Amino acid sequence: MSGQQRRRRIVHVVDSFAVGGLENVIVQPINRLLAERFEHVVLSLTIMSDFKQCITQPDVRFIELHKPAGHAAALFPHIYKLLRKLQPDVVHSCNLAGLKIAPLSWLARVPLRFHAEHGWEAHDPKGQNPRYRRLRKLYKPSARHYVAVSKDWDEYLAQAIGAPARRRSLIADGADAHTFAPSPCGVAQGVPGCPFAAGQHWMVGTVGRLQTVKKQRTPEVVEEGNTGLLVPSDDADAMAQAVWRLYADAASARRFAQSARRQAVKSFGIAAMVHSYERLFSGQRLDESVDIVPGYSGQS
């Protein structure tokens, strides 16, 4: 890239790179940040699956270390040498397994060290495990900045881990507002393979994985009475009543849908998420009011 500014190199550190919730946190920024400004390395402590084919950028480097079960301490010398060789501008670690690499990033003199907490562990769905809390506090000095994907995680980092506001950012997972959009003709379209016909049946969809750790509510996504209705977790009767209420009141359902669409595009769209990561990876704070050249494709 002679005559041009050197691209910023980002190393994304994960425990494994397979199907799961890391898609938005890693795949979307890699695919949508401009290749002229950023280059990416995905470092998996264990293995990678065919999930890496979701990344469409052509020059992304994939490294898997095949860590056996247990702590990654035996790999620390190799990881340190690897970071010194790669000389990244940014290390972007994810979840507790990735956080353990933060001290090595500091020793390797990586300027920007971001750690993203994507979601609760299945065996610690409320973040109450004292050992995990101690570990996160232990590694806190070497993580320059934290990224939480939900309000409850941001509060956990503040209250349980003691991360100050200046070292935290809340970046919600981005929804694909282009794929999941109202029909341009205003008439509901059929879903391929679905036995129910649009226009003949009132269809109810669900979003999420059928796992216990995923059943927790994220009330910041829904504004009660404006973009939808909130019901208590694990209350099937309340859910049924809310669904019936929307079925019986088409005007309210339509109003909720329109308001939710506007909020999703503005606050929870992929473009907004990627733009936030672009600013962080460029070394800017999200609360800085500055004009920058967009470093993402703008697709949503």
The more confidently predicted of residues 92 and 293 is: 92
Quick check: 135 pLDDT over 60? yes
Residue 172: DSSP 8-state = P
DSSP labels for 18-73? SSSTHIIIIIHHHHHB-TTTEEEEEEESS-B-GGGGG---TT-EEEE--PPSS-SG
Q: Which pLDDT score, from 0 to 100, does residue 210 have?
A: 63
Residue 49: DSSP 8-state = -
From 12-26, 142-156, 249-263, the region with the lowest mean pLDDT: 12-26
Quick check: 139 pLDDT over 90? yes
Quick check: 272 pLDDT over 90? no
Question: What is the Cα gyration radius of the chain?
Answer: 21
**Residues paired with residue 148 on neighbouring β-strands, in sequence order:** 117, 170
Determine the average pLDDT of the residues in 151-164.
93
CA atoms of 296 and 174, how far apart (whole Å)? 14
Q: Which pLDDT score, from 0 to 100, does residue 205 have?
A: 79
Q: Where are the domains of the chain?
A: 8-174+270-281, 175-268
H or E element in which residue 40 lies: strand 38-44
Q: Which pLDDT score, from 0 to 100, does residue 289 have?
A: 46
Indicate the pLDDT class of residue 70, thresholds 50, 70 and 90.
confident
Quick check: 291 pLDDT over 60? no
Secondary structure of the chain: what % helix, strand, coil (to 5)? 40, 15, 45
CA atoms of 72 and 67, how far apart (whole Å)? 7
- Percent of the chain, pLDDT > 90? 52
Q: Which pLDDT score, from 0 to 100, does residue 145 have?
A: 94
Q: Which pLDDT score, from 0 to 100, does residue 290 have?
A: 40
The more confidently predicted of residues 16 and 126 is: 16
Q: Which pLDDT score, from 0 to 100, does residue 278 have?
A: 95
Q: Which pLDDT score, from 0 to 100, does residue 217 have?
A: 59
Quick check: 292 pLDDT over 50? no
What's the topology of domain 8-174+270-281? Rossmann fold (3.40.50)
